[in-house]
Structure 1
Amino acid sequence: MKRRDVIKLGFAGAAGLYINPIFAKLNYLTKVDQPILFKPNWESLSKYKVPDWFRDAKFGMWAHWGPQCEPEAGDWYARGMYQEGSWQYKFHVKKYGHPSKFGFKDVINVWKADKWNPEELVNLYKDSGAKYFMAMANHHDNLDLYDSKYQPNWNTTKLGPKKDIIAGWEKAARKAGLPFAVSVHAAHAWSWFETSQRADKKGDLAGIPYDGNLTKEDGAGTWWEGLDPQELYAQNHPLSENSLNNGTIHSQWNWGNGVVKPSDAYIEKFYNRTIDLIDKYNPDLVYFDDTALPLWPISDAGLRIAAHLYNKSLGKNETVQTVVTGKILDEQQRKAMVWDIEKGQSNNIEPLPWQTDTCIGNWHYDRGVYNDKRYKSAKTVIHTLVDVVSKNGNLMLNIPVRGDGSIDELERKIVEEIGVWMKLNNKSIYGTRPWKIFGEGPQQESAAALTAQGFNEGKGKPYTFKDIRFAQKEDILYATVMAWPEDGKILIKSLGKESKYHPQKIKKIKLLSTGEKLKYKQHSDFLEVYFPNDQPKASYANVLEIMS
């Protein structure tokens, strides 16, 4: 829909915008020059089509970075530090003091991000093969990492680093020529932060409340005088059912099973914050850490946000060029947005594009992972990427960022090694589409089913040279052998002369990383390919370029 089509909806005069009554029922007009196509309901959003840039990119990198990285003590720190007896609680008391005296708001205050160089990091990720970049705009800790009109006091331009983090990431991504994405997690602060309402049950400070119920009036004489902690913690409400059970939140994630319903003011504030984010920084992709969309099904706020993002894109393009991702989607919802699987992979070729998000360590930086050298290897990342691409998906990989804004030397080495493989083999990744089957071999037989929003990665057997993954581009078939063959040859059952998948005669096979032509024999039941004596770099995934 173009401007001339929009004008049919009404006209703009000196008195303002007149809306033709025929179109008034759309109830979703924003600007006269902004097309109106998507309405905030699932049926209307189901008209969406995933843009080609996302389908072609395949590989993105993510900075899941915020104030919870400052302690360098792992995921969900701002929740765990209020769980009496937990390792994060003990860590917090030792490093900062008791959470009744030094709460998460105080962690934000000491976070400085003094070594953050977004341009250097984004260029590193681009050089490693990433085709889009994502930055965290807020987490469940409810701090906005941008110049937030609707969270004016609790954002990083006013506190902590005193920098517009999202503006810095966006500028770096645009300069590098990468699509820019943001992740939004703050819808769940309402229930996620309920631990901050607690108090110790044991010890010298038993019964003294943590700082989650503090108000503006309590700040006299403190560093936060004049600020209202409730704008951050949002805890002026009763606890959800069974809130004292730390695991209950997982069964309440979809705003059910006893979770206290957020107030209308909380919902609209979240909506306004997210629209402000979209309008200020124009992200190409918005990732939501929610079942379906934020606050669904108790509110249509997420639907309104998605419709706004799509319509905003249509104001500039012939088709929607933006992406929204969400988790645990039903069939209709998967048409309306991109299905995201957390730390896991589909076990089939999906009919619509999807994404997996995972990290090489923990989501938030964890010094223990570094000390124990527990990062995922480049080999594991590449195997995941190849498998995901063969099933019509993208990989979004988080490289945990330290509190000071840097990444450590072990992470940097992994990123650089990923880049070695990608430079040699990226033709088999970018712009490809699934083949008739995603692959063959014993690994898939051991793959685990998805659990909730994902969490099935790493549960199957390791890949071997008997595991093959396929992708295609134009008239070329790519077959990736997931290890170097032990005896110098591999057999591909799906490519025999009598295969129902590939009846054409094979004319040439090359090892993509070196360009070397390989000898082969196409038998009735399988294709036999002979590998060279010398292994190329990063030979844990070896791409055969097959031409018929």
Structure 2
Amino acid sequence: MPTRRAALCALAAPVLALHLSVSATPADETPVQLSTVAGPFQPEAGSLKTYRTPDWFRDAKFGIWSHWGPQSVPRAGDWYARNMYVYGTGQYKHHLENYGHPSKHGYKDIIPLWKAEKFDPDALMALYKKAGARYFVSMGVHHDNFDLWDSRHHEWNAVKMGPRRDIVGDWQKAAKKAGLRFGVSEHLGASYGWFAPSHGYDQIWPMLGVDYDGADPKYASLYHRAHNQPYRGAASWYTTDTRFQQEWYNRITDLLTHYQPDLLYSDGGLPFGKVGRTLVANYYNASMASHGGKLEAVYNHKEIGSGEFIREAGVQDVERGVMDGINPLPWQTDTSIGDWFYSEGYKYKSTTDVVHMLADIVSKNGNLLLNVVQYPDGSLPPEPMKFLQEMAEWMGVNGDAIYGTRPWKVYGEGPTKAASGHFKEDTAYTPQDIRFTTKDGAVYAITLGTPATAVRIASLGRKAGLESRPVKAVTLLGSSAPLRWKQGDDALTIEVPASLPSSMASSFRVTF
């Protein structure tokens, strides 16, 4: 077992700083070799800003994501592959108790335990489609540096080890069969620094100074070569090491070329300057070439962390949060029904939570991409299964107020102000909170809860409201019973019928 020099082991007190291999090598600055795909888009911000979001995405509104991989195996939540090497964390303790010390039993030993033996993509996709998803996104590669496809440039992939099947390819086939648009997510850009703790060692007896398995050069293709660029939060998300930038470019280009997804998601800003811009320009040009000159591709990136954020160059993604108001450009929230990877005892969102988020997001010109948590074997826990069933019922009734809609003059009204920004998604709404969408000249008013006796919509008042045309008719989606309503000077008032199609949210269609 390789150890540090004897003097290091004489330290008896815990050391809280992250210790990395003393054999770290400097960053490589060799220029990245880039190829180009012919087309109108060039790898400059000005060119990428000419992007226009395709109608399929603007109409879809709701997508489901499979944020799934070897990190599901320990059943201990997100970022396991990193935190199992961070002394004192819950995931470090979990790993020590269940698998052994990370000097001997590391993440490389978790990967073979991911078998995906109950993974049935066709059956799952049928559930997702029934629940209302119009697009599906597969994890391509997480920060753990493990590719879920038949990767040409990386030996650590799901075809060569673990489940020994093309996870991305199987998801793609199922999505196409179900008639859903298909996307992939890449989190690889941050991996170089994110995985740095695997090169460390315990900071206290009895294993002080004993290298974790990531420090073994034999596994450098998984844990990356030793380096001096540790991850220090999202502000240092991407490395300057061009050797890794080249690897990122080659692998993600392979992913895009092989599967030609409708959507690519990067977990952060656009990675690596011109390298990332070239990849996105190629992605857009290839999409146009394969769709008769029509751009059908969507690229998601975020305004947080490092990397470039070029708002007009794609579709902005907000992680576990929402926008403050109507955004002039289409955008997307990504969140999860539970933890990102399966975690025992984690509290799941209710279907009501998701419905209210969806209505708020769509009213503000956004889409919702929701991770549905899977067990390590690929099957669904009971909570996500219940959610899918309840969501299918709600969307079956209220889908007309969601799909193909656009924002109205205001996104909504009511007493509750939603928190906005990344990682702010726990707003508790009341039945007096209303969200608006519009389609084919009609306005849909969605109540975020069950109103008691009447729905009062000030924005549709005859004089005080925002619509100059008088109301002609009001109907409740999912109900054939006539409604009693009155358009006064200050508000449109709708009497609530004795029974509602759903207690989560009701959609009233108002025509003029």
User: What is the TM-score with the length of structure 1 in the denominator?
Assistant: 0.85
Structure 2 counterpart of 1:40: 43
Task: Tell me how far 1:443 sits from its aligned partner.
Answer: 1.2
Structure 2 counterpart of 1:63: 66
* 2:331 is the counterpart of 1:354: yes
Rounded to whole Å, the distance in 2 between the matches of 1:541 and 1:206 is: 56
SS at structure 1 position matched to 2:267: strand
Rounded to whole Å, the distance in 2 between the matches of 1:517 and 1:136 is: 46
Task: Tell me how far 1:348 sits from its aligned partner.
Answer: 0.5
SS at structure 2 position matched to 1:79: helix
Task: Tell me how far 1:265 sits from its aligned partner.
Answer: 1.5
Structure 2 counterpart of 1:268: 246
Structure 1 unpaired stretches of 5+: 1-26, 217-228, 256-260
* 2:147 is the counterpart of 1:144: yes
Partner amino acid for 2:478? S
* 2:92 is the counterpart of 1:89: yes
C-alpha contact 1:491 1:526 (8 A) present in aligned 2: yes
Q: 2:474 aligns with which of 503, 506, 509?
A: 509
Rounded to whole Å, the distance in 1 between the matches of 2:268 and 2:224 is: 18
Note closer, same or farther for the CA distance 1:162–1:332 as it changes in structure 2 (3 Å cut): closer
C-alpha contact 1:190 1:262 (8 A) present in aligned 2: no
Q: 1:328 aligns with which of 272, 284, 303?
A: 303
Q: 1:539 aligns with which of 500, 503, 509?
A: 503
The percent of aligned pairs where both chains have the same amino acid is 43
Task: Tell me how far 1:203 sits from its aligned partner.
Answer: 2.7
Rounded to whole Å, the distance in 1 between the matches of 2:481 and 2:286 is: 48
C-alpha contact 1:28 1:36 (8 A) present in aligned 2: no
Task: Tell me how far 1:449 sits from its aligned partner.
Answer: 3.8
C-alpha contact 2:326 2:410 (8 A) present in aligned 1: yes
Rounded to whole Å, the distance in 2 between the matches of 1:74 and 1:403 is: 11
For each residue in 1:197-246, what CA deviation from the matched residue of structure 2 results, as whole angstroms up to 9, or x when unmatched?
11112232221011111122xxxxxxxxxxxx111111321243xx6xxx
Rounded to whole Å, the distance in 1 between the matches of 2:152 and 2:335 is: 31
Rounded to whole Å, the distance in 2 between the matches of 1:403 and 1:361 is: 15
Structure 1 counterpart of 2:425: 457
Task: Tell me how far 1:63 sits from its aligned partner.
Answer: 0.4
Task: Tell me how far 1:400 sits from its aligned partner.
Answer: 1.1
SS at structure 2 position matched to 1:397: strand
Task: Tell me how far 1:484 sits from its aligned partner.
Answer: 1.4
For each residue in 1:444-497, what CA deviation from the matched residue of structure 2 results, as whole angstroms up to 9, or x when unmatched?
2xx3342xxx11111x3x2112111000001111000111112x1121111110
Structure 1 counterpart of 2:284: 310
Rounded to whole Å, the distance in 1 between the matches of 2:50 and 2:443 is: 31
For each residue in 1:494-521, what CA deviation from the matched residue of structure 2 results, as whole angstroms up to 9, or x when unmatched?
1110135111110110111213331111
* 2:258 is the counterpart of 1:280: yes
* 2:139 is the counterpart of 1:174: no
Structure 1 counterpart of 2:192: 190
Partner amino acid for 1:126? K
For each residue in 1:166-196, what CA deviation from the matched residue of structure 2 results, as whole angstroms up to 9, or x when unmatched?
1110010011111100000011111000111
For each residue in 1:58-84, what CA deviation from the matched residue of structure 2 results, as whole angstroms up to 9, or x when unmatched?
000000001101111001000110111
Rounded to whole Å, the distance in 2 between the matches of 1:28 and 1:71 is: 40
Rounded to whole Å, the distance in 2 between the matches of 1:484 and 1:42 is: 47
State how 1:345-494 maps to structure 2 within 5 Å. Answer: 345-369=322-346, 374-444=347-417, 447-450=418-421, 454-458=422-426, 460=427, 462-486=428-452, 488-494=453-459
For each residue in 1:422-450, what CA deviation from the matched residue of structure 2 results, as whole angstroms up to 9, or x when unmatched?
00010000000000000000112xx3342
User: What is the TM-score with the length of structure 2 in the denominator?
Assistant: 0.90
Rounded to whole Å, the distance in 1 between the matches of 2:489 and 2:54 is: 40
SS at structure 1 position matched to 2:170: helix
Task: Tell me how far 1:263 sits from its aligned partner.
Answer: 2.1
Task: Tell me how far 1:262 sits from its aligned partner.
Answer: 3.8
Task: Tell me how far 1:252 sits from its aligned partner.
Answer: 2.1
Rounded to whole Å, the distance in 1 between the matches of 2:420 and 2:511 is: 34
Partner amino acid for 1:530? E
Structure 2 counterpart of 1:208: 210
* 2:224 is the counterpart of 1:250: no
Rounded to whole Å, the distance in 2 between the matches of 1:86 and 1:158 is: 31
Partner amino acid for 1:193? F
Structure 1 counterpart of 2:27: none
C-alpha contact 1:194 1:235 (8 A) present in aligned 2: no
